[in-house]
A = this chain, B = another copy of it.
Amino acid sequence: MATNKQILFNKPYLTGLESELVLDSINSYGHCGNRGYGQKCIELLKERYGFHDVFLTPSCTSALEMGALLADLKPGDEVILPSYTFSSTANAIVLRGAHPVFCEVEPNTMNIDVDRIEGLITERTKMILPIDYAGIPCEIERIMEIAKNHNLTVLQDAAQSTHSKHKNGKWCGAVPPLAAFSFHETKNFTCGEGGALIVNDPDLVQRAHFLQEKGTDRSLVLKGVKSKYSWVDMGSSFLLADILAAMLLTQLEHADEMTAKRAKVTRAYNELFAPFDTNGSVQIPHPPDGVELNHHAFFVIFDTEDHQQQFIDKLRQVNIFAYIGYMPLHSSPFGRKLGYKAEDLPITEDLASRIVRLPFYADLAEDGLDYTIENMNTVMNEIYE
């Protein structure tokens, strides 16, 4: 087995046009948020994906926080979200003094188990906050139906699912009143640090401008409605620098070609692991029929924690970097501080202890995929001989 190669877990993809656009932004002398390249990204996102409005933010984390403010979360409010997610999903709730109500996930997608949501709804429930794990769309239609029946709002944490499509044919982020995207270094389309809040509810747009502009009505001054701006609301600096928007623009413009590269990686992983999935050794993603994936990531849930660890360790010996998934939030130190115990969500605990995320990036399709598959095949046969 050759070990001179190294297969990273993640590597940003460059279209080759980043430098040109970034230099153009620098030379424009308009470097702050909502300048030229920011506007171009917003237009592209609205047109391609059918969003009502888009606010570029410094991160998906801050987009989630802006969404929580826009949903008017207050102390005492409850928000239902999966425990199997990144801390930012829950922090957006906790920072408003609201209470995260953690829900189990289901293993086909590692997304929120929609069948369990209604059982968690109380008089204090205000919002459902599902995520699209690994870029696999959550069951947004069923979630919206539940939300409607119980008069709740929905903020979709679509950090990983830019350019994925729900089975109803709508792009991720286009269905609920609020959705958040990530353009972090680890995501399909990146500017290092960045995000976007999608606002599909027209009634929320004006307040979104206030929140984005530090709680001021500066947007009304720019529109010519007012002559001087003042403090009208809470808010933060939910703005993405133009230089980063310039980099993001070329990434978004090349979404199809980047997704095609990533699709090759999914196909290779599916082919390798399908027999092990069929014979019950592991579980691989089974996205709902009809969805279209952005091929953000690929996970394998091993039958035992020991096999999971063996897989990671053996691959590391040949310089292939696979990783564990999230530590469930409910049983983390801060989750316990909020009153949760590990045994509150046994399914999530169990799945999280056996999951592995495989190396995944666009360039892998052209450099290193054969090496990766060959070595993973050897390791799987060693483990399950």
Contacts and interface: CB of A to CB of B under 8 A. Distances in A.
A194 B242 CA distance: 12
A223 interface: no
Contact of A95 (B91, B236, B335): B236
A191 interface: yes
Interface stretch (A137-145, A225-233, A297-305, A372-380): A225-233
Nearest to A229: B327
A18 interface: yes
B332 A243 contact: no
Number of copies: 2
Interface in A16-31: 18-19, 22-23, 26, 29-31
Contacts of A193: 31-33, 58, 237, 239-241
A243 B236 contact: no
Contacts of A194: 241
A216 B61 CA distance: 13
A310 to B, nearest CB: 16
A214 interface: yes
Contacts of A50: none
Contact of A22 (B32, B62, B88, B243): B243
B241 A244 contact: yes
Contact of A190 (B12, B31, B75, B97): B31
Contacts of A90: 231
For this complex, into which size category does the number of interface residues on chain A fall?
Answer: 35 or more
A230 B330 CA distance: 11
A150 to B, nearest CB: 27
Contacts of A71: none
A247 B32 CA distance: 13
What 9 A-B pairs come out closest when comparing CB atoms?
A31-B192, A58-B58, A192-B241, A61-B237, A59-B237, A231-B332, A32-B185, A193-B241, A230-B327
Given A193-B241, A243-B244, 7 more contacts: A22-B23, A61-B237, A88-B236, A95-B234, A193-B239, A231-B329, A231-B334
28 contacts: A14-B29, A22-B22, A26-B247, A31-B193, A58-B59, A58-B62, A60-B237, A61-B214, A62-B62, A87-B216, A88-B236, A88-B237, A90-B231, A192-B241, A192-B244, A193-B239, A193-B241, A194-B241, A228-B324, A228-B327, A229-B327, A230-B332, A231-B329, A231-B332, A233-B334, A243-B243, A243-B244, A244-B244
Interface of A: 11-12, 14, 18-19, 22-23, 26, 29-33, 58-62, 65, 75, 86-88, 90-91, 94-95, 97, 184-186, 190-194, 214-216, 228-237, 239-244, 247, 324, 327, 329, 332-335
